[in-house]
């Protein structure tokens, strides 16, 4: 049960209903983080624009995006984003071994070098809020500067989503297995 009732379009002023329409366009329902973020409609709209960039226009490979999101959600114990993005991870072809290693906070030795690097970067940014020189050099060589900047932004974005999910106790469907 969420700690703050999710808003619905009908509960908003006419001006905020138009923000709702823009924010919810392409999203399913009014639940999840945006049901709460709409208490601050201007922020929700800007935040939604950033999310739309990552979803539709970003340079990162879809598998890399989902690995990053799952790694951040797992590090922060955020079950709601995990539940949504585990489904997406399967859809874009993230290997089951990578998902299970993240779910169990297990070792990464059985994963590809690329997947290990992506997960290590996300974990380091969440845990330390920085990258050691060796990790920075490896990911820069692997992704290039443009995608590296985007990866850092995606980690930050899902830190926010995970914080909203945790602070407001966003639930997951009863039949959902997270971690």
The DSSP string of 89-131 is HHHHT--HHHHHHHHTT---TTS-HHHHHHHHHHHHHHHHSS-
| pLDDT score, position 4 | 84
Q: Confidence class of residue 30 from pLDDT cuts 50, 70 and 90?
A: low
DSSP string, 149-168: HHHHHHHHHHHHHHHHHHHT
29 pLDDT above the threshold of 90: no
pTM of the model: 0.94
For 132-156, write each residue's pLDDT tens digit: 999 999 999 999 999 999 999 999 9
Give the number of other CB atoms < 10 A from CB of residue 165: 27
Tokens of residue 104, six digits: 């169990």
For residues 155 and 148, give the distance between their C-alpha atoms in angstroms, rounded to a whole number: 11
As a whole number, the mean pLDDT across the chain is: 94
The first and second tokens of residue 138, run together, are: 């490896």
From 1.20.1290.10, 3.40.50.1970, 3.30.70.1290, 1.10.150.120, which CATH number describes the 62-167 domain?
Answer: 1.20.1290.10
Find the mean pLDDT for residues 108-131: 97
Percentage of the chain exceeding pLDDT 90: 86
- Locate CATH 1.20.1290.10 in the chain: 62-167
pLDDT band at 109 (very low <50, low <70, confident <90, very high): very high
Look at residue 85 in the predicted model and tell me its pLDDT: 96
Across residues 36-47, what is the average pLDDT?
A: 95
Mean pLDDT of 43-56: 95
Give long-range contacts, CB 8 A cutoff, 24+ apart: 85-90. Answer: 86/178, 89/63
pLDDT given for residue 86 in this prediction: 97
Residue 114 confidence (pLDDT): 98
| pLDDT, mean of residues 122-140 | 98
* CA dist list (Å): 53 to 60, 89, 154, 168, 177: 11, 18, 10, 25, 28
pLDDT score at 89: 98
What pLDDT sits at residue 44?
95
pLDDT, residue 94, reads 98
List all residues 6 or more positions away from 55 whose beta carbon is below 8 Å from its beta carbon. Answer: none
């Amino acid at each position: 049960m969420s700690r703050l009732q999710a808003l619905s379009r009908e509960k908003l002023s006419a001006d905020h209903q138009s923000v709702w329409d823009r924010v919810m366009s392409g999203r399913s329902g009014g639940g999840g983080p945006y049901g709460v973020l709409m208490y601050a409609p201007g922020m929700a709209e800007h935040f939604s624009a950033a999310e739309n960039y990552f979803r539709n226009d970003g340079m990162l490979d879809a598998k890399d995006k989902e690995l990053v999101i799952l790694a951040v959600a797992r590090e922060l114990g955020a079950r709601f984003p995990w539940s949504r993005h585990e489904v997406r991870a399967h859809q874009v072809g993230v290997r089951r071994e990578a998902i299970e290693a993240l779910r169990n906070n297990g070792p990464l030795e059985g994963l590809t070098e690329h997947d290990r690097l992506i997960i290590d970067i996300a974990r380091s940014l969440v845990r330390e809020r920085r990258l050691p020189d060796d990790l920075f050099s490896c990911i820069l060589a692997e992704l290039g500067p443009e995608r590296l900047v985007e990866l850092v932004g995606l980690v930050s974005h899902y830190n926010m989503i995970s914080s909203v999910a945790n602070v407001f106790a966003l639930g997951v469907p009863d039949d959902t297995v997270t971690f």
